[in-house]
A and B are shown apart, each in its own frame.
Chain A
Amino acid sequence: MTGQLLEIRDLHVALPEGSERRYAVEQVDLELAPNEILCVVGESGSGKSLTARAVMGLLPAPHVKVEKGAIRFGQEDLTRVGDARLRQIRGSEISMIFQEPMTALNPVMTIGDQIDEVFRFHARMGRKERRQKATALLDDVHLPDPAQIIGAYPHELSGGQRQRAMIAMALALDPKILIADEPTTALDVTTQAQILKLIKELQAGHDTGVLFITHDFGVVADIADRVAVMQQGRVVEAGSADKVLNAPEHPYTRDLIAAVPSLVPRAARQRSAEPVLQVQGLTKVYRSGGGFFGLGGKERKVTAAKEVALELRRGETLGIVGESGSGKSTVARCIVRLNDADEGQILLHGSDLRPLGRAAMRPFRAKIQMVFQDPFASLNPRTRVGRIIAQGPLIQGQSPAAAQDRARELLEIVGLDARAFDRYPHEFSGGQRQRIGIARALALDPEVLVADEPVSALDVSIQAQILRLLDEIRDRLSLSMIFITHDLRVAAQVCDRIAVMRYGVVVETGSTGEIFRDPQDAYTKDLLAAVPGRHWLPARQDAIA
């Protein structure tokens, strides 16, 4: 094939001996044309990131290396060129942006200095000229006040601004290829939409070929010209975006697409009107600094929740939707009494939990339980699964035998083998761990389950399973659930009603159907408009239900 910018042929990336599989990337063939966005989609462990890093020569040496195959860039094979030439190519002809703009930028160097490095190593320019160029770049990526941002440190910028700065750095020398490794995954949806738009705009303006790595089919639908789907290190399907998204051939692609939650809310269910939990006027302010005879600097106050009012009815799932910093997690933690709210009432069947002390709260602890976001961090790595689950009932005074029996039973309910009882959390995958987390929460027979982003850390196919499980459990154990998420697709599929939060305030509450059909608040409209791939609907609309 001619006219291609990049041709990857029969690429094999070997993993160190003793790994689960021999190759992280196997027999991969890909090509990228100028002015084209190629999306490489796959779940975690599919080898998509390593493929991208192989192009840059950034594999984690010496354990992981290219064993076979070629990466042709112009006249050269990138797997064979020397270090010096590779350094020349990096940053000037091929550049890269990363997932987490906070950690991808050096925390103790100013943005300006970090952009400056690209010029210093690739172009002969005077200090002043470099500075001017950097300022112009920051302006190109639509950062406000470039002159000030150039002297700022990464922590002084917001997530979206940091990613813009990263993009500015990557595009400094007008590279032929931009490799973007999940560049919007760590960002809020509205920010994500802006960054995607920016990448598209700059790419079109400079004829850049973009290799875009992502796990999110919504993002793919928004920006891809062509798509390659990876599974277990192999490309299982590749083709034009239209073909892969709307007429997938490979069963794995079909499964993946089917697992993407639809934006069309599922049909409303029959619900009781009996309130289980009522939250009224909940306010939480975080304070820091201040004090010390007025020398302590200004006291900083962050109002994480302001007069939040919610009502949870028996058997329903109430979604709290919002971006990071909206206060949704604070509200959840206040309801479970992990944090103490400053004001307001948390009424469980009419009795206010907020003013209760430790001892008085104990009998209520069992009634409200929480499932956490990170299935890796939320389970004690040194405790066996059985003990993790049985601990709650033991504390509440159940006999050890009864608690253990219950734990085994719960493992079955959440779809795990009873043998899991004697194993440690690290022996399980992310999805399995989240099941353990759910079993732990259910062990106390709660009436209310608060799930804080329970599926955000999971792959899309696992996510669908966990959502189905939560649904099933809610009906089977007649639970009421508060479901916190930033993902409107997920919210559409699990929630009966939704409360949208922003800056600590609930801006809109309503049934899921109403909110999606006819959002009232301007912010809700923005959120809905920012959902990636909103114009593309998976072929099967009953993905979850």
Chain B
Amino acid sequence: MNHSVKRLRYVLKRLLQALPIVLAIVVVNFFLLHMAEGDAVDVLAGEAGSATPEYMAELRQKFGLDKPLPVQLAIYLKNVLSFDLGYSFRHEMPVSQLVLDRFVPTLLLMVSTILLAVGLGIVLGLIAAVGLNTWRDNLISVFALVTYATPLFWVGLMMIVVFSLNLGWFPTSGMENIAAFHTGWDRVWDIAHHLVLPTITLSLFYLALYTRLMRASMLEQAGMDYVTTARAKGVTERRIVFVHVLRNALLPVVTMAGVQVGALIGGSVIVESVFAWPGLGMLAFEALFARDLNLLLGIFLLSALLVVAVNLVVDIVYSLLDPRIEVS
């Protein structure tokens, strides 16, 4: 069979496999969220200050919250299948619109973070491993250790203090300068400018992780027999590092990165709140405290889809890097 046909089949298979997973996630989330005490009506009533039990019952009936749980689940599932994620009582907007609005900033932050963390992590790990026990290695190792141990929110705050307030290089918060009404490339540039600090903050921890992983992986591969073979062939050290060792050493890093993308969405809540980044993490946080279950479920569903998609991409990248993995 042709190789690309094989790969297409593989993707198709993986997507099919993802369907029951996503469905299970929806169902589990649904029950989990309903296990918590209180609903949106409680919060609304609490905020209003005075609400009679009759009015609350009326609200519940209006929102469909008085029906038994299985019925609510069935209704929700039916709606999801027709791409209707429900209505957020809190924001008075359809959930799908809310979620999609916030999805783009999240995706932007995530992708830039991953690229920075994985890309720079690989480079730093490579430099450290090549110059083993030199000052370069020591410097990078200390840097990795320190960033690994520093809490995210503190890094974020310090970034703002140093680069925004003192130096004035970057804006303190937000995703764009709304008042400036930029369009076209100006807007892209504006967003990129706003993106710098959140990305660095969020990626530092992962950067440390990948640097250490890459360094260890390079050192491990450097001791392999095929490296001796390459040396015995008279290949230069440069080529051994960049052609033979590098590609093999990348494999564990790619695996790790794939696993951590999911965690990244969760970890971004802190960064989003520090930098007022209008992403999904912030939205989820707000939704949780407002008992806006429809919105939460929508966010979870989108996150699940995102993780499934990223894992698929990682697996395909992996199969390109390692011919031993068969896409079948």
Q: Is the CB of A155 within 8 A of B231?
A: no
B233 touches A104 (CB 8 A): no
Residues 166-215 of B at the A interface (beta carbon under 8 Å)? none
Is A118 an interface residue, CB under 8 A from the partner?
A: yes
A117, A289, A292, A298 — which one has the most chain B CB atoms within 10 A of its CB? A117
A468 to B324, alpha carbons, bound, how many Å?
Answer: 43
Task: Write the chain B residue with the least CB distance to A296.
Answer: B13
Contact A58 B233 (CB under 8 A): no
Proximity string of chain A (74-86) to chain B, C-beta cutoff 8 Å, 1 when within and 0 when not: 0000000000000
Residues of A within 8 Å of B248, CB to CB, are 106-108
Q: Which residues of B contact A56 (CB under 8 A)?
A: 231-232
Does B224 sit within 8 A of A, measured CB to CB? yes
Q: Are B232 and A292 in contact (CB under 8 A)?
A: no
Q: Are B234 and A91 in contact (CB under 8 A)?
A: yes
Contacts of A58 in B (CB 8 A): 228, 231-232
The answer to whether A295 touches B322 (Cβ under 8 A) is: no
Q: Quick check: A90 and B244 within 8 Å, CB to CB?
A: no
> Given the complex, which residues of B lie within 8 Å of A96, measured CB to CB?
229, 232
Distance in Å: Cβ of A294 to nearest Cβ of chain B? 10
Q: A292–B9 Cα gap in the complex (Å)?
A: 12
B9, B231, B232, B239: most-surrounded residue (chain A CB, <10 A): B232
Distance between Cα atoms of A295 and B322 in the complex (Å): 22
Determine whether B235 belongs to the interface, using a CB cutoff of 8 Å to chain A: yes
How long is the Cα–Cα vector from A289 to B326 in the complex, in angstroms? 11
B328 pairs with A92, CB closer than 8 A: no
Specify which chain A residues have a CB less than 8 angstroms from the CB of B228 in the assembled complex: 58, 98, 104
A109 at interface by CB-CB < 8 Å? yes
Tell me whether B236 and A121 are in contact (CB under 8 A): yes
B13 near A87 with CB under 8 A, answer no
Q: Is the CB of B244 within 8 A of A109?
A: yes
Range class of the B interface residue count: 20 to 34
Tell me whether A92 and B323 are in contact (CB under 8 A): no
- Cα separation A64 to B127 with both chains bound (whole Å): 25
A98 proximity list for chain B (CB < 8 A): 225, 228-229
Q: Let me know if A254 is at the binding interface, CB within 8 A.
A: no
Would B323 and A155 count as touching, CB distance under 8 A? yes
Contact B17 A118 (CB under 8 A): no
Q: Would you call A295 and B9 a contact (CB within 8 A)?
A: yes
Interface residues of B in 60-114 (CB under 8 A from A): none
A155-B323, A295-B9 given. 19 additional CB < 8 A pairs?
A87-B236, A88-B234, A90-B232, A91-B235, A104-B226, A106-B230, A107-B248, A108-B247, A108-B321, A108-B322, A109-B247, A117-B230, A117-B233, A121-B234, A121-B239, A122-B234, A295-B13, A295-B16, A297-B9
Residue A95 interfacial (CB < 8 Å): yes
Say whether B233 contacts A95, CB under 8 Å.
yes
Residue of A nearest to B224 (CB): A103
Chain A stretch 123-169: residues in CB contact (< 8 A) with chain B: 153, 155, 166, 169
In chain B, positions 1-55 with a C-beta closer than 8 Å to chain A are 9, 12-13, 16-17
Interface string of B310-328 (1 = CB under 8 A from A): 0000000000011110001
Which residues in A have their C-beta under 8 angstroms from that of B243?
A: 109
Least CB distance from B200 to A in Å reads 32
- Smallest distance from the beta carbon of B291 to chain A beta carbons, Å? 39
**A153 B230 Cβ-Cβ under 8 A:** no
Least Cβ–Cβ distance between B63 and chain A, in angstroms? 39
11 contacts between A and B (CB under 8 A): A87-B234, A87-B236, A103-B226, A104-B229, A108-B321, A117-B235, A117-B239, A118-B234, A292-B16, A293-B16, A297-B328
Contacts of A153 in B (CB 8 A): 323-324
Chain B residues numbered 280-328 whose CB sits less than 8 Å from any CB in chain A: 321-324, 328
Contact A169 B12, beta carbon cutoff 8 Å? no
